[in-house]
């Protein structure tokens, strides 16, 4: 069973024919189909599968808890109309690496586990890396259970509907204690490797980043009869804020994005009563991130004041800066250098479950070249040859970490 075989069985699941993007949101039909794929693939490799209290999927080679395990994997959920590789490349590569080791009759000295973390994108319930945060105690379970999707369905309801006992969701110290090291392989969400003509890189760290919800409350009115001077237009306050955010990001050498906006009531001939907008902000360090978000919040307050609109800003998700474990990082570099070229060290602005686990266990990342750098888009792509190089790199790293 090789990479392509495993990859092609997952590829059609949750893909939207019109956009060509993926709509794999946690605890939906597409997610359940992904979970079934995970179980079939694991079983065909002779691995024992488990779904933990937080909905994360595990496939075990060896008995959990017998020794500290070497864990590898990523996530299967997507952003709306995301690409095929963000997440799944890490899970498929993990299965392919295990298949390769078993074909070589490798005898691991400690358990190896393939993992697929739940709700990494936060596309349905708004908090990134929800499954790994719950597992590591990085989010309050009661808060998490009450997170709601766009239709008002809570995480607890969604898990219950999928046959899970949501009341159990929460820290899993026993499981975390069984992890000796975690390595997540992921498509690079950028073009550094392409610029360096390198197929594989090693993660150095992750920028601090977060999500803030901004609510602009104006006054609904008729688009065709309300004088401009009489309007309290939430849309104008939001629009001014979005433009200010771009300027603030440029001045702070950081990133700010409004990718999700909801206008109420959403009628072409009615002035908005409210606009709800989600800011994604990222910076090289937390002080800069604080400064960036502070400036955007101030710009929003001023814009709201100019338009007679109320404004509230609330943080919904935050990921502190991550530096991956230097011993694991250097050990992976040594293994890959022995196999050929010295892999570049890459910082990233993209969040990952490995970044959440890094607070509790030695964690590291391998990146696979993305020729265009495009991600969170149907256009996301990695060449098969680079994916196979990624599998070979992960196989060598697992053999080293789980070897005698
Ligand atoms: O948003 C991120 O950085 C990741 O894709 N969850
Ligand atoms: Mn992503
Ligand atoms: Mn990802």
Q: What is the pLDDT of residues 294-308, one digit of tens each?
A: 999 999 999 999 999
pLDDT at 19 over 90: yes
Closest ligand 1 atom to Cα of 121: 6
CATH number at residue 283: 3.30.70.360
What's the pLDDT score for residue 341? 79
pTM (2 decimals)? 0.96
Band (pLDDT 50/70/90 cuts) for residue 386 is very high
Site to substitute for ligand 1 among 317, 350, 354, 365, most atoms within 8 A of C-beta: 350
Query: Per-residue pLDDT averaged across 196-216, rounded?
Result: 98
Half-sphere exposure of 191 (CA within 13 A, CB side): 5
Site to substitute for ligand 1 among 81, 120, 205, 351, most atoms within 8 A of C-beta: 351
Q: Mean pLDDT of all residues in the chain? A: 97
What's the pLDDT score for residue 340? 80
Q: Where among 300, 319, 338 does a domain terminate?
A: 319
Same-domain pairing of 35 and 181: yes
- Does any ligand 1 atom lie closer than 6 A to the CB of residue 380? no
Domain total of the chain: 2
pLDDT at 314 over 90: yes
Query: Per-residue pLDDT averaged across 361-385, rounded?
Result: 98
What's the pLDDT score for residue 372? 98
Main-chain phi, psi angles of 107, to 5 degrees: -115, 100
pLDDT at 285 over 90: yes
Q: What is the CA(210)–ligand 2 centre distance, in A?
A: 13
Same-domain pairing of 218 and 310: yes
Q: Considering only CA atoms, which of 305, 297, 307, 294 is closest in space to residue 235? A: 307
User: Containing domain of residue 77, as a range?
Assistant: 3-207+321-402
What's the pLDDT score for residue 404? 81
Q: What is the CA(93)–ligand 3 centre distance, in A?
A: 14
pLDDT at 66 over 90: no
Instruction: Answer yes or no: are the C-beta atoms of 89 and 387 closer than 8 Å.
Output: yes
Q: Which ligand number lies closest to the CA of residue 380?
A: 2
The two structure tokens encoding residue 120: 């990494």
Residue nearest to atom 4 of ligand 1 (CA): 351
DSSP 182-203: EEEEEE-SSSHHHHTT-SEEEE
Same-domain pairing of 45 and 93: yes
N residues, the chain: 404
pLDDT tens column, 151-167:
999 999 999 999 999 99
CATH number at residue 119: 3.40.630.10
- Does any ligand 1 atom lie closer than 6 A to the CB of residue 155? no
pLDDT at 54 over 90: yes
Same-domain pairing of 229 and 291: yes
Same-domain pairing of 334 and 356: yes
pLDDT at 115 over 90: yes
What's the pLDDT score for residue 34? 98
Q: What is the CA(65)–ligand 2 centre distance, in A?
A: 30
pLDDT at 330 over 90: yes
């Amino acid at each position: 069973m090789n990479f392509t075989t495993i990859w092609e069985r997952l590829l059609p699941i949750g893909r939207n024919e019109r956009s060509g993007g993926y709509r794999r949101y946690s605890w939906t039909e597409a997610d359940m189909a992904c979970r079934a794929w995970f179980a079939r693939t694991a079983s065909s490799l002779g691995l024992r599968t488990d779904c933990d209290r937080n909905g994360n999927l595990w496939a075990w080679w060896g008995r959990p808890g017998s020794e500290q395990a070497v864990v590898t994997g990523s996530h299967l959920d997507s952003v709306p109309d995301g690409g095929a590789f963000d997440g799944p490349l890490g899970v498929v590569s993990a299965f392919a690496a295990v298949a390769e080791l078993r074909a070589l009759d490798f005898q691991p000295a400690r358990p190896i586990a393939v993992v697929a973390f739940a709700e990494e994108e936060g596309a349905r319930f708004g908090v990134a890396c929800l499954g790994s945060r719950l597992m590591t105690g990085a989010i309050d379970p009661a808060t998490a259970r009450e997170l709601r999707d766009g239709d008002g369905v809570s995480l607890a309801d969604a898990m219950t509907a999928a046959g899970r006992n949501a009341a159990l969701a929460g820290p899993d110290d026993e499981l975390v204690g069984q992890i000796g090291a975690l390595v997540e392989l992921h498509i690079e969400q950028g073009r550094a490797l392409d610029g360096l003509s390198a197929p594989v890189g090693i993660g150095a760290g992750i920028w601090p980043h977060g999500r803030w919800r901004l609510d602009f409350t104006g006054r609904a009115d008729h688009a065709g009869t309300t004088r401009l001077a009489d309007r309290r237009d939430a849309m104008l306050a939001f629009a001014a804020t979005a433009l200010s955010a771009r300027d603030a990001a440029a001045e702070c050498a950081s990133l700010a994005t409004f990718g999700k906006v909801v206008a109420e009531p959403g009628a072409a001939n009615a002035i908005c009563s409210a606009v709800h907008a989600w800011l994604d902000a990222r910076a090289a360090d937390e002080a800069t991130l604080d400064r960036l978000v502070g400036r955007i919040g101030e710009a929003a307050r001023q814009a709201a004041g100019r338009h007679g609109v109320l404004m509230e800003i609330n943080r919904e998700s935050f990921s502190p800066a991550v530096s991956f474990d230097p011993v694991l990082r250097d050990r992976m570099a040594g293994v890959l250098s022995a196999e050929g070229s010295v892999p570049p060290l890459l910082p990233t602005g993209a969040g990952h479950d490995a970044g959440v686990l890094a607070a509790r266990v030695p964690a590291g990342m391998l990146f696979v070249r993305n020729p265009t750098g495009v991600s969170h888009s149907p256009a996301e792509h990695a060449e098969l040859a680079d994916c196979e190089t990624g599998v070979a790199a992960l196989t060598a790293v697992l053999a080293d970490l789980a070897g005698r």
